[in-house]
Chain A
Amino acid sequence: MTTEYTDIEKTPVGKKMAGPVEWLDDRLGLAGAGKKLMPVRKVFPEHWSFMLGEIALWSFIVLLATGVYLTFWFQPSMAETVYNGPYKPLNGLEMSQAYSSTLDISFGVRGGLLMRQVHHWAAMLFVAAMVVHMLRVFFTGAYRKPREVNWLIGLGLLTLGLVEGFAGYSLPDDLLSGTGLRFVDGLIRSIPLVGSYLEFFIFGGEFPGNEIIPRLYMAHILLIPALLLGLIGAHMLLLVYQKHTQWPGPGRTEKNVVGYPLLPVYAAKAGGFFFVVFGFTALMGAMIQINPIWAYGPYNPSEVTAGSQPDWYMGFVEGAVRVMPNWELTFLNYTWSLNVFIPGVLLMGVLFTALGAWPFVESWITGDKREHHLLERPRNAPVRTAFGVAGMTMYAVFWIGGGNDIIATKFHLSLNAITWFVRIGWIVLPVIAFIVTKRICIGLQRADANRILHGYETGIIERTPDGSYSERHAPLPVANQFVLTSHDRLPVLEAPAEEDANGVAAPGSRGARLRAKARSFYYDGAVDKPTTHDVEHAAEHLGDHDGHPVPLGEDFQGVSETGIPRSHL
């Protein structure tokens, strides 16, 4: 088998492009710069889960493009105007220029509604992709040394994405976005002591004032996108500098990266994926209606509509606020709105602090200060995986709280019952999820160990001469065995010395004791991979079983329940 390769200069396109490219290279030195700055020969490993962050990146590009289009017509002003446009039910109504111009974009500007809808869907996808990407990084332990800083940058991107999305949600000044703005106004005010001052500072007076939309507009189209772009650049540069993590496999080590080079393979793959993402946002924008602002009417602080919700990424805060008991107290002549502060401000603070601290907490618990470039399968870190699923469960329970009215009407449930479900569930369900996930991980670890020691199930049932039936097992291919055993062996847990040799309490022993406890919790129940001794012993055991009626052959990899040959590679 030979590979035919044509040099790019000799292709028809190459021949034509040679002149202009040389002209540019002579003047700009692109070839040298490209080699130095652009990682054109950088190798990236291949896996579908490595493309989740790309979805976020590409939807961000779509956001930039559609956003620029929208700025041509949007008027970020709260000045009153009378609407006289094609949408009759609002004709002659007084409204802000922001709302009126958004109506014009929707009904008057060619392609305006499509652009608005594509922009909104891309925004929803942007945050969703960031969250899913972050979950992938979390569950595979990709944030471990040396990537803690990039994890923090990613967290910063997610936070900015939420703020950016919220600002965009508030700009059209319709009844829904005004209600969302009022919600955030409530969050700001609930901050003890300084809340009301902060509100006046941000809104330029009492809510809603005349300033907030121009200010949010500046943040939405300049400040936050600039920060996002900068952080995305840093995120990518670090990715290139530190190289991408890869799944364990034959030939893959902590010191190499196995995959394809950026040019031409990944440029084509990623470039193609961009068009797929663009296509998805365009299709969704064209076919699924999103945020029909004309249906809500202009914002008026005395009005509200049933079914008012934030976009999905703020739904968990909405849910927590909805189910919170009405705790409020007056102390030192100040009102302490714990009913809003705890589920709103504190919850977000705790979530983002926990996410930011996790890599450092984990490395403190495990004492692992080595560099990691090979990913960990979620099952091989049962407690981490269980924590992740518990966190997702809590998030989902709060989501239910945020959509409680929709759930109540669509499924004919009592609103109060849902409230109590969330109030109890946000504590109980994550604990259950933790236990269940951990057990599943351990079960999967046992199954892995089984496959290594006893081979895989071939799907062939054999009957012995004395009439008993058993399924024939065959040894797993070595490459598969390698993948299943490439993770670290569990550390030996030792209680820390409480006293030194002279019977004096060891310094820092309290911290050490705490750490020892955390360590034993972290590794509790995890199944260690089989030792070489185990494997050899099992091989002997398997060897005893000769006398199979039919030889399986070299290529055999088992059959499915329906008799179709299976492949393990």
Chain B
Amino acid sequence: MRKLSTRRRHPLAGLVVLLLGLVVAGGLYAAFAPRAATAEEASARDVEAGRQLFLIGCASCHGKNAEGITTKSGGNYGPSLIGVGAAAVDFQVGTGRMPMANAGPQAPRKDPEYTAEETKQLAAYVASLAPGPSVPESEYTDYKAATTEEIREGGEFFRTNCTACHNSVGAGGALPNGRYAPSLKGVSAKHIYEAMLTGPQQMPLFSDEVITPEDKRNVIAYIKSVQDQPTPGIAGGSVGPVSEGMFTFLIGMGGLVGVAVWIGAHGARVKKRSS
């Protein structure tokens, strides 16, 4: 204690206290602040490569600094991407929605334009602009590890939050003005996760506080387990009563009327012998 009391008037004491305070505050901030933009260490080289790709492929709509470009009427050509995070980029670019082929009510899913490496670089660049949700850890997309109980729970979440737009087997559904909830068939677990996390296009955003990462994984597990069910026969059951009605008339009534015509065209047969 003497040491401390003798040296507290040392000319450098104030500086030491200030440093200590900064270290503590910084450490606390680092420990408690929202997770940084990139889960994986995004190298400065990735960010720079991503920026170069962005300037060529994205900046025409989203602006040179991803700040978005507003139109005169107050809408935008492309929204600001500051703070959308790596997850949004990975989803939009990874599912081929971005870059958009043409303007429309909604960007459709298509074959991706960028390789996985380029997508990662673009994501790193956008994530470097401001903190945002990052690409999910593989433990949350490993839906095969889910137990029966977890799948059932995921189903409850799915039916409560998702089926109203995406249909009970994820076949998709219509939304107003030409927009739609896309089919979930063949969408990777990572992209489903990112869609929940970032709320792309018409979709609401389900943050980790609303649906925890574990529950997101369970929802994915339910979707995958439902889609992996054998769908015997024609139609496969995902299309609902409209197609059932169509089959009733095309195959059922069509076929039976055909048979009726055939029966009606044949009179009674009597054994006849020409004399």
Contacting pair A309 B241 (CB below 8 A):
yes
Q: How large is the interface on B (under 10, 10 to 19, 20 to 34, 35 or more residues)?
A: 35 or more
Chain A: CB-nearest residue to B247: A288
Contacting pair B235 A416 (CB below 8 A):
no
| Among A276, A306, A312, A417, residue most surrounded by chain B Cβ atoms (within 10 Å) | A306
Contacting pair A51 B178 (CB below 8 A):
no
Q: Map CB proximity to A onto B144-169 as digits: 1 under 8 Å, 0 otherwise.
A: 00001101100110011001111111
Q: Map CB proximity to A onto B225-266 as digits: 1 under 8 Å, 0 otherwise.
A: 110010111111111111111011101110111011111110
Contacting pair A48 B163 (CB below 8 A):
no
Q: Say which residue of B151, B177, B241 sits within 8 Å of A89 (CB atoms).
A: B151
B72 located at the interface, meaning its Cβ lies under 8 Å from any Cβ of chain A in the complex: no
B105 located at the interface, meaning its Cβ lies under 8 Å from any Cβ of chain A in the complex: yes
Q: Say which residue of B148, B225, B249, B274 sits within 8 Å of A128 (CB atoms).
A: B249
A291 located at the interface, meaning its Cβ lies under 8 Å from any Cβ of chain B in the complex: yes
A280 located at the interface, meaning its Cβ lies under 8 Å from any Cβ of chain B in the complex: yes
The interface residues of chain A lying within 8 Å CB-to-CB of B174 are 306, 404-406, 408-409, 415
Chain A: CB-nearest residue to B226: A89
Contacting pair B265 A48 (CB below 8 A):
yes
The interface residues of chain B lying within 8 Å CB-to-CB of A286 are 233
The interface residues of chain B lying within 8 Å CB-to-CB of A300 are 159-160
The interface residues of chain B lying within 8 Å CB-to-CB of A4 are 271, 273
Contacting pair A414 B248 (CB below 8 A):
no
CA distance A15 to B169 in the complex (A): 62
Please judge, given known A-B contacts A47-B264, A91-B152, whether A303 and B164 are in contact too, CB under 8 Å: yes
Q: Say which residue of B234, B238, B259, B267 sits within 8 Å of A288 (CB atoms).
A: B234
Report B's interface with A, CB cutoff 8 A: 105, 148-149, 151-152, 155-156, 159-160, 163-169, 171-178, 180-181, 222, 225-226, 229, 231-245, 247-249, 251-253, 255-257, 259-265, 267-268, 270-275
Contacting pair A125 B180 (CB below 8 A):
no
Q: Map CB proximity to B onto A304-325 as digits: 1 under 8 Å, 0 otherwise.
A: 1111111110010000000000
Q: Say which residue of A3, A287, A416 sits within 8 Å of B233 (CB atoms).
A: A287
CA distance A289 to B238 in the complex (A): 9
The interface residues of chain A lying within 8 Å CB-to-CB of B267 are 46, 260
User: How many A residues have CB within 8 A of the partner chain?
Assistant: 74
The interface residues of chain B lying within 8 Å CB-to-CB of A310 are 241
Q: Say which residue of B148, B234, B263 sits within 8 Å of A92 (CB atoms).
A: B148
CA distance A362 to B10 in the complex (A): 114
Q: Say which residue of B149, B239, B251 sits within 8 Å of A284 (CB atoms).
A: B251
Q: Which stretch, A195-203, A265-273, A473-481, touches the partner chain B?
A: A265-273
Please judge, given known A-B contacts A48-B261, A307-B240, whether A89 and B225 are in contact too, CB under 8 Å: yes
Contacting pair A415 B177 (CB below 8 A):
yes
The interface residues of chain B lying within 8 Å CB-to-CB of A525 are none
Contacting pair A128 B253 (CB below 8 A):
yes
Which positions 408-423 of chain A face chain B at CB distance < 8 Å? 408-409, 412-417
Contacts A175-B159, A289-B237, A312-B244 known; list 13 others, CB within 8 Å.
Answer: A1-B273, A1-B274, A48-B257, A49-B260, A55-B256, A121-B248, A287-B234, A289-B232, A297-B159, A302-B160, A306-B163, A405-B174, A409-B173
Contacting pair A306 B172 (CB below 8 A):
yes
CA distance A303 to B163 in the complex (A): 8
The interface residues of chain A lying within 8 Å CB-to-CB of B251 are 280, 284, 288
Contacting pair B176 A311 (CB below 8 A):
no
The interface residues of chain A lying within 8 Å CB-to-CB of B176 are 414-416
Contacting pair A307 B167 (CB below 8 A):
yes
The interface residues of chain A lying within 8 Å CB-to-CB of B225 are 88-89
The interface residues of chain A lying within 8 Å CB-to-CB of B105 are 414
CA distance A128 to B254 in the complex (A): 11
Contacting pair B168 A175 (CB below 8 A):
yes
Contacting pair A48 B260 (CB below 8 A):
yes
Q: Map CB proximity to B onto A484-519 as digits: 1 under 8 Å, 0 otherwise.
A: 000000000000000000000000000000000000
A213 located at the interface, meaning its Cβ lies under 8 Å from any Cβ of chain B in the complex: no
Q: Say which residue of A289, A302, A406, A409 sits within 8 Å of B236 (CB atoms).
A: A289
The interface residues of chain A lying within 8 Å CB-to-CB of B156 are 93
Q: Map CB proximity to B onto A324-357 as digits: 1 under 8 Å, 0 otherwise.
A: 0000000000000000000000000000000000
Contacting pair A292 B237 (CB below 8 A):
yes
The interface residues of chain A lying within 8 Å CB-to-CB of B163 are 175, 297, 303-306
